[in-house]
């Protein structure tokens, strides 16, 4: 008996830290499978479309009775509705989720949380907002600041120095003025307007592999280190550099471009496929990615700079903020 | 219409980075802000605990052994104390005597173990890992009985085993802070949490080792050397780490709960 | 002399285990706190490549509809999709189900294999002959691919160096019993941390053969899958790397699977993996050492990865050596403690992750109380060790007797699926 008691004490001391686990086995509280969203698909317009669907369902539930309280972007918000037009005057602040059938106009320096217009949306200079959603065209003045995202079905024009939050998407043309900063941008195409020339030449190390000016390559081009492609080259396949990559002006690459480090793309370069860069990326003036039929993407793992007149048919994604060169 | 005036605090944030942090990243994009603070805290705490152990392991071990001896003697177990040394320090080890096994007894042990192995191999009802564990115990006891049958004695006497246990206990104390420190350095614990996990693990191990030393001595005075290798190999140093991982798991669950409710704690890939 | 040899052997085991412990510690650090290498999921494309999806099936009537429905429901344009479910010597109603889907959808082209070799590698080889697209995806029959997964996986091939891509496997029947819960922990560690870290560090991420894809022309140029190989996925990974191709890991491309619910099924699965993996090690180790396009780090990681199913027997042997030393009264206290720690820390041999790696994965996954089960992974140690050791002995037997292993299917739990978090 004494021996047993010694052994029991030993077993009890041993088992003490295992008790929570034992309880979890006996009465499971966290035993469900990880939630894999079976319906998940990659969609640049996800924020906009899911919000439209949510607002539609709220409007159906409330039969248009305004205002009402509902959950929006993880927060309980008051929805306010106007039949046609909402105007937030200069310097005014709105705390509701604004809904309009035709138009929403924000005066200079207005501040708003969320707004949805079934028609157009016009923002003056220095407007601050959390999310903006519209079914028609959207125009942002200078130095506007978006906290989360904007989505439109029509063209979006963004004024100088604005910040577009984590996502700016449109089914049509997205025009970025100089100095605009963004996380992700989708447009057909995304176009940069005026600004200074990118100017700076890309740097590669002395042992970089080099493709001479005007060269023509029929297959894929893979470099184990830095790669410098000269001006006016024609590459029929894809390009991959394990180091830094410089593509000379006027070159055309039919396939994809992958850079494991920084990449500099010269002026008037055409890329038929995707541009995927794990480091800093600078796109020179007049660069064109994808086309109206084949929508492609630009991915940048660090800082992205877009020169003048860049046209990207598809998605531009940066991990930190990207910017159109001021 | 015009919108109502907003109260202070509901206006959009001016922090650009906040825009991205506002959304909890999907698990596949999650990572943590790299910080040297946690690693430094773990390293510093480990070094401090190791230093403290280096200074005080001998008195600590002596205290535990004396406590074990005192408790066992009060319970009527025939144990005593004797001096020994380890890592240049004077220690005291438990002394006890064990009954000697006769040949017939050993043969019976072997047969019983073999029979047990057959039964637990044929049986399908206990879960397989449990059957494997029982069989492994039986196999070790059977091997030891066979060794005793042919060699006549084990490599360790009661005194040798006692000293071995004492030394194992001290080595384990030294290994645990390094092991736990290396583990907690990987996680974003606060400095005091890191220190707490390491100290609790070491403190718990003092208790476990102390109780186990007494339990082994008590068991061997009754059973004789037949269980000696099984006790040491399966319930010796191997056993220490299991509850240590239990403590680590409790700390991790606490950390995980905090991380899930703190969106800003995460970084996107 | 004997004592010295035993001490040296224990020392060897400790060195090996320390190597693995440091490796996985660094993997965990890399996954938790260092810059993660991006995958290609953020590339949006309306000009997707045509894709062939192969689903090998042997007696899969319980799950066949589920996987086929899931693929058909996906967002990949049907015009660019070809599905080849392979009925591999089934004795149940699998063939009838495949026939039904073949009649319903023009892009589902079932393949019926009733003669010749049975097994996944052979089924894949036959399907590759029928496949008409360059990009080939493979799912096991008990998997439930999500709507967008094909697109996510297909994007990997924008990189001209990528030979294969692997997604993340997520157990669906987790809540079934303790075994499934422990396996879920193992899987998290193996994918969320281990695979992602190896991808980050440009090492040796594995093509796992179940939620992934490869370039058809590349696999055919490497003479397809070895029909005798039980771990055709690991073998392919090694051959791709040694021939200059890359394998990439897509952590966001998650797919449900069913893990074994009985100990017997798990034992057979582990034994089969061990047998195949060790054969792959034997077959590829010399190529790995000589491959000119692999860096030193990749070579080391490749060998350590291929050798994981040789570790449990080595660890067991160290334990037995210590037992002999104990019986002889010559045990080293330090090695006994070190070995004890390694035995407990490395109990999850299925995906070969130590507890801190699994803990990190669970924190990333947002686990709470399930983390309390970490010490219970030790419960698997002897079971796993013996299953893996049996597999290694099978490999040795295969080599000595020059016999071909027979493909053993993992028992399904009849489409049993549980609630998700």
User: pLDDT grade, residue B263 (50/70/90)?
Assistant: low
Helix (H, G, I), strand (E, B) or coil at C229: coil
Residue A198 contacts residue A282 (beta carbons within 8 Å): yes
Give the mean pLDDT of B161-190. 94
Give the mean pLDDT of C130-145. 94
For A121, the token pair is: 């949306």
pLDDT exceeds cutoff 50 at C345 = yes
If asked whether residues A256 and A320 sit together in one domain, one would say yes
Q: Could you give the number of structural domains in chain A?
A: 2
Q: Does B216 touch chain C (CB under 8 A)?
A: no
pLDDT of residue A128: 95
Q: Which residues of C touch A41 (CB under 8 A)?
A: 75, 147-148, 151
Angle (CA) B1-B5-B8 rounded to 5° is 155
pLDDT exceeds cutoff 80 at C220 = yes
Helix (H, G, I), strand (E, B) or coil at A224: coil
Rounded-to-integer distance, Cα A255 and Cα C161, Å: 13
Question: What are C248's strand-pairing partners?
Answer: C165
- Residue A17 and residue B247: Cβ atoms within 8 Å? yes
Question: What are C53's strand-pairing partners?
Answer: C83, C137
* Summary mean pLDDT of chain C: 90
Q: Which of B35, B197, B36, B247 is nearest to A16 (CA)?
A: B247
Phi-psi category of residue B30: left, alpha or beta, with phi > 0 → left and psi -120 to 50 → alpha: beta
pLDDT of residue C320: 92
Question: Is A79 inside any structural domain?
Answer: yes
pLDDT of residue B13: 37
Residue C216 contacts residue C222 (beta carbons within 8 Å): no
For residue C344, give the nearest of B187, B241, B259 by CB distance: B241
Longest distance between any two alpha carbons in chain B, whole Å: 102
pLDDT exceeds cutoff 60 at A170 = yes
User: pLDDT grade, residue B5 (50/70/90)?
Assistant: very low
pLDDT exceeds cutoff 80 at A82 = no
For residue A166, what is the enclosing H or E element? none
Q: Does C322 touch chain B (CB under 8 A)?
A: yes
Examine residue C231 and say whether the peptide bond preceding it is cis (omega within 30 degrees of 0).
no
Q: How far is B179 from chain A (nearest CA, A)?
A: 17
User: What phi and psi values does residue C166 have, to the nearest 5 degrees?
Assistant: -130, 135
pLDDT exceeds cutoff 80 at C347 = no
CA closest to B10 among chain A residues:
A95
For A313, the token pair is: 């048919």
pLDDT exceeds cutoff 90 at B10 = no
* Summary mean pLDDT of chain A: 89
Q: How far apart are the first and last CA of chain C?
A: 58
Domain that holds residue A266: 209-324
If asked whether residues A258 and A149 sit together in one domain, one would say no
Residue C207 contacts residue C246 (beta carbons within 8 Å): no
pLDDT of residue A55: 84
pLDDT of residue A193: 82
Give the mean pLDDT of A32-46. 90
User: pLDDT grade, residue C62 (50/70/90)?
Assistant: confident
If asked whether residues A154 and A264 sit together in one domain, one would say no
pLDDT exceeds cutoff 80 at C64 = yes
Q: Does B153 touch chain C (CB under 8 A)?
A: no
Rounded-to-integer distance, Cα C246 and Cα C156, Å: 10
Rounded-to-integer distance, Cα B251 and Cα C375, Å: 13
**Neighboring chains of A (3 or more beta-carbon pairs < 8 A):** B, C
pLDDT exceeds cutoff 80 at C128 = yes
Q: Which of B244, B127, B179, B125 is nearest to C382 (CA)?
A: B127
Rounded-to-integer distance, Cα A258 and Cα A263, Å: 9
Q: Does A16 touch chain B (CB under 8 A)?
A: yes
C40-301: CATH superfamily: Spore Coat Polysaccharide Biosynthesis Protein SpsA; Chain A (3.90.550.10)
Rounded-to-integer distance, Cα C256 and Cα C211, Å: 9
- Residue A258 and residue C159: Cβ atoms within 8 Å? yes
pLDDT of residue B14: 39
Per-residue buried b or exposed e for B159-178, using 16+ beta carbons within 10 Å of the residue's own CB: eebbbbbbbbbbbbbbbbbe
Question: Is A28 inside any structural domain?
Answer: no
Q: Which of B66, B63, B91, B90 is nearest to B80 (CA)?
A: B66
Q: Which of C367, C369, C379 to mutate to test the interface with A (most CBs of A within 10 A)?
A: C369
User: pLDDT grade, residue A199 (50/70/90)?
Assistant: low
- Give the tens place of pLDDT for each residue, A118-133: 999 999 999 999 999 9
Q: Which of A304-318, B21-35, B225-239, C269-283 is least confident? A: B21-35
**Neighboring chains of B (3 or more beta-carbon pairs < 8 A):** A, C
| Contact residues, chain B to chain A, C-beta under 8 Å | 1-7, 10-14, 16, 18-20, 22-23, 27, 72, 75-77, 204, 207-208, 211-212, 214-215, 218-219, 222, 239, 242-244, 246-247, 249-250, 253, 268-269
Q: How far is C353 from chain B (nearest CA, A)?
A: 13
If asked whether residues A156 and A230 sit together in one domain, one would say no
For B100, the token pair is: 């000697």
Eight-class DSSP state of A321: E
In terms of Cβ atoms closer than 10 Å to its own Cβ (0-12, 13-18, 19+), residue B123 is: exposed
For C395, the token pair is: 């490999």
User: pLDDT grade, residue A19 (50/70/90)?
Assistant: very high
Q: Which of B10, B12, B70, B215 to mutate to test the interface with A (most CBs of A within 10 A)?
A: B12
pLDDT exceeds cutoff 80 at C409 = no
pLDDT of residue B29: 82
Per-residue buried b or exposed e for A256-265, using 16+ beta carbons within 10 Å of the residue's own CB: bbbbbbbbbb
Rounded-to-integer distance, Cα B47 and Cα C47, Å: 58
Phi-psi category of residue C53: left, alpha or beta, with phi > 0 → left and psi -120 to 50 → alpha: beta
Rounded-to-integer distance, Cα C44 and Cα C155, Å: 9
Instruction: List C-alpha distances in Å: C128 to B241, B258, C239.
Output: 49, 49, 17
pLDDT of residue C158: 95
pLDDT of residue C24: 94
Residue C146 contacts residue C254 (beta carbons within 8 Å): yes
For residue A315, give the nearest of C37, C38, C44 by CB distance: C44
Q: Which of A140-149, B31-40, C133-142, C227-236 is least confident? A: B31-40
pLDDT exceeds cutoff 60 at B225 = yes
- Residue C174 and residue A33: Cβ atoms within 8 Å? yes
For residue C76, what is the enclosing H or E element? none
If asked whether residues A242 and A319 sit together in one domain, one would say yes
Question: What are A146's strand-pairing partners?
Answer: A129
User: pLDDT grade, residue B8 (50/70/90)?
Assistant: very low
- Residue A17 and residue B75: Cβ atoms within 8 Å? no
Hey, where are the domains in chain B?
Answer: 33-69+80-98+156-261
Q: Does C342 touch chain A (CB under 8 A)?
A: no
- Residue A317 and residue C146: Cβ atoms within 8 Å? no
pLDDT exceeds cutoff 60 at C202 = yes
pLDDT exceeds cutoff 80 at C379 = yes
Hey, where are the domains in chain C?
Answer: 2-33+305-401, 40-301
pLDDT of residue B37: 78
pLDDT of residue A194: 64
User: pLDDT grade, residue C393 (50/70/90)?
Assistant: very high
- Give the tens place of pLDDT for each residue, C12-42: 999 999 999 999 999 999 999 888 899 998 8
Question: Is A148 inside any structural domain?
Answer: yes
pLDDT of residue B9: 29
For A51, the token pair is: 């919000």
- Residue C161 and residue A222: Cβ atoms within 8 Å? yes
Question: Is A53 inside any structural domain?
Answer: yes
Give the mean pLDDT of B2-14. 34
pLDDT exceeds cutoff 60 at A251 = yes
Place of tokens 């393949």: C111
For C:364-383, CB contacts with B below 8 A are 364-369, 371-375, 378-380, 382-383
**Neighboring chains of C (3 or more beta-carbon pairs < 8 A):** A, B
pLDDT exceeds cutoff 90 at A190 = yes
User: pLDDT grade, residue B269 (50/70/90)?
Assistant: low
Q: What percent of chain C has pLDDT over 70?
A: 95
User: pLDDT grade, residue C418 (50/70/90)?
Assistant: very low
For residue A183, give the nearest of B5, B20, B239 by CB distance: B20
Q: How far is B39 from chain C (nearest CA, A)?
A: 10
Give the mean pLDDT of C281-310. 92
């Amino acid at each position: 008996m004494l021996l047993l008691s010694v052994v029991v004490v030993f077993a009890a001391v041993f088992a003490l830290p295992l008790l929570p686990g034992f309880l979890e086995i006996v009465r499971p509280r966290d035993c469900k499978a990880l939630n894999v969203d079976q319906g998940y698909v990659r969609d640049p317009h996800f924020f906009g479309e899911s919000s439209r669907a949510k607002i539609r369902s709220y409007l159906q539930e409330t039969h248009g009775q305004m205002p009402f309280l509902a959950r929006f972007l993880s927060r309980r918000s008051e929805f306010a509705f106007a039949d046609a037009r909402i105007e937030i005057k200069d310097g005014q602040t709105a705390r509701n989720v604004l809904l309009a059938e035709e138009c929403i106009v924000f005066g200079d320096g207005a501040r708003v949380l969320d707004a949805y217009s079934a028609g157009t949306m016009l923002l003056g200079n220095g407007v601050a907002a959390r999310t903006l959603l519209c079914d028609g065209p959207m125009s942002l003045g200078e130095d506007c600041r978006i906290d989360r995202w904007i989505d439109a079905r029509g063209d979006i024009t963004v004024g100088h120095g604005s910040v577009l939050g984590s996502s700016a998407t449109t089914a049509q043309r997205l025009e970025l003025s100089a100095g605009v900063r963004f996380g992700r941008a989708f447009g057909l195409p995304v176009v940069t307007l005026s600004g200074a020339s990118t100017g700076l030449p890309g740097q590669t190390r002395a042992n970089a592999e080099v493709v001479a000016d005007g060269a023509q390559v029929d297959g894929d081009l893979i470099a184990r280190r830095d790669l410098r492609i000269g001006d006016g080259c024609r590459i029929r396949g894809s390009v991959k550099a394990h180091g830094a990559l410089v593509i000379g002006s006027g070159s055309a690459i039919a396939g994809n471009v992958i850079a494991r480090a920084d990449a500099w793309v010269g002026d008037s370069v055409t890329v038929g496929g995707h541009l995927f860069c794990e480091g800093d990326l600078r796109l020179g003036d007049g660069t064109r990615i994808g086309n109206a039929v084949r929508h492609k993407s630009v991915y940048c793992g660090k800082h992205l700079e877009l020169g003048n007149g860049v046209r990207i048919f598809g998605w531009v994604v940066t991990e930190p903020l990207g910017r159109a060169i001021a | 219409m015009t919108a109502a005036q907003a109260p202070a605090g509901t206006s959009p944030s001016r922090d650009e980075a906040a825009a991205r942090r506002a959304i909890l990243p999907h698990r596949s994009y999650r990572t943590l802000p790299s910080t040297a603070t946690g690693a430094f805290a773990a390293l510093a705490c480990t070094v401090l605990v190791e230093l403290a152990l280096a200074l005080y392991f001998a008195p600590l071990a002596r205290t535990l052994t004396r406590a074990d001896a005192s408790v066992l003697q009060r319970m009527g177990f025939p144990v005593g104390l004797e001096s020994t040394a380890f890592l240049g320090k004077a220690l005291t080890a438990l002394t006890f005597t064990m009954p000697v096994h006769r040949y017939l007894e050993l043969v019976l042990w072997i047969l019983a173990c073999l029979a047990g192995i057959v039964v637990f191999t044929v049986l399908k009802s206990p879960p397989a890992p449990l059957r494997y564990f029982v069989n492994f115990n039986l196999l070790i006891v059977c091997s030891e009985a066979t060794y005793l049958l042919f060699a006549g004695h084990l490599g360790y006497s009661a005194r040798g085993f006692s000293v071995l246990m004492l030394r194992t206990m001290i080595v384990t104390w030294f290994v645990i802070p390094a092991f736990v420190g290396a583990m907690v350095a990987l996680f974003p614990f606060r400095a005091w949490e890191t220190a707490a996990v390491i100290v609790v693990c070491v403190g718990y191990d003092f208790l476990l080792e102390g109780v186990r030393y007494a339990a082994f001595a008590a068991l061997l005075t009754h059973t004789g050397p037949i269980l000696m290798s099984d006790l040491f190999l399966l319930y010796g140093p191997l056993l220490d780490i299991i509850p240590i991982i239990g403590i680590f798991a409790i700390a991790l669950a606490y950390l995980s709960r905090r991380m899930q409710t703190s969106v800003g704690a995460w970084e996107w890939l | 002399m004997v004592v010295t040899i035993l001490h040296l052997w224990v020392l060897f085991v400790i060195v090996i285990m320390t190597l693995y412990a440091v490796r996985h510690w660094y993997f965990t650090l890399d996954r938790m706190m260092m810059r993660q290498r991006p995958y290609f999921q953020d590339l949006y494309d309306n000009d997707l490549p045509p894709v062939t999806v192969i689903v090998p099936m042997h007696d899969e009537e319980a799950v066949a509809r589920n996987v086929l429905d899931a693929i058909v429901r996906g967002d990949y344009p049907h015009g660019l999709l070809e599905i080849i479910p392979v009925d591999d010597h089934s004795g149940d109603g699998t063939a009838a189900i495949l026939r039904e889907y073949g009649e319903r959808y023009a892009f589902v082209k079932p393949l019926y294999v009733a003669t010749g070799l049975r097994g996944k590698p052979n089924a894949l080889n036959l399907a590759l002959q029928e496949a008409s697209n360059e990009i080939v995806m493979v799912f096991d029959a008990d998997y439930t691919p999500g709507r967008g997964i094909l697109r996510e996986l297909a994007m990997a091939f924008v990189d001209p160096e990528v030979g294969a891509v692997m997604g993340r496997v997520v157990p669906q029947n987790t809540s079934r019993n303790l075994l499934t819960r422990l396996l879920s922990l193992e899987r998290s560690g193996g994918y969320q941390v281990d695979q992602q870290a190896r991808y980050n560090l440009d090492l040796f991420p594995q093509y796992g053969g179940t939620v992934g894809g490869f370039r058809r022309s590349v696999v055919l140029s490497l003479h397809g899958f070895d029909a005798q190989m039980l771990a055709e996925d690991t073998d392919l990974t090694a051959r791709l790397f040694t021939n200059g191709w890359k394998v990439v890991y897509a952590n966001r491309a998650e797919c449900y699977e069913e893990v074994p619910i009985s100990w017997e099924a798990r034992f057979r699965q582990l034994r089969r993996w061990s047998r195949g993996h060790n054969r792959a090690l034997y077959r590829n180790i010399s190529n790995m050492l000589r491959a000119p396009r692999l860096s030193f780090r990749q070579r080391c990681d490749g060998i350590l990865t291929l050798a994981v199913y040789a570790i449990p027997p080595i660890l067991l042997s160290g334990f037995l050596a210590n037992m002999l030393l104990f019986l002889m009264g010559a045990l080293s206290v330090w090695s006994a403690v070190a070995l004890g720690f390694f035995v407990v820390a490395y109990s999850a041999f299925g995906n070969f992750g130590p507890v801190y790696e699994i803990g990190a994965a669970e924190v990333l996954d947002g686990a709470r109380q399930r983390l309390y089960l970490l010490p219970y992974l030790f419960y698997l140690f002897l079971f796993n060790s013996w299953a893996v050791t049996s597999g290694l002995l099978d490999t040795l037997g295969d080599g000595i007797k020059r016999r071909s292993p027979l493909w053993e299917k993992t028992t399904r739990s009849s489409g049993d699926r549980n609630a998700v978090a």
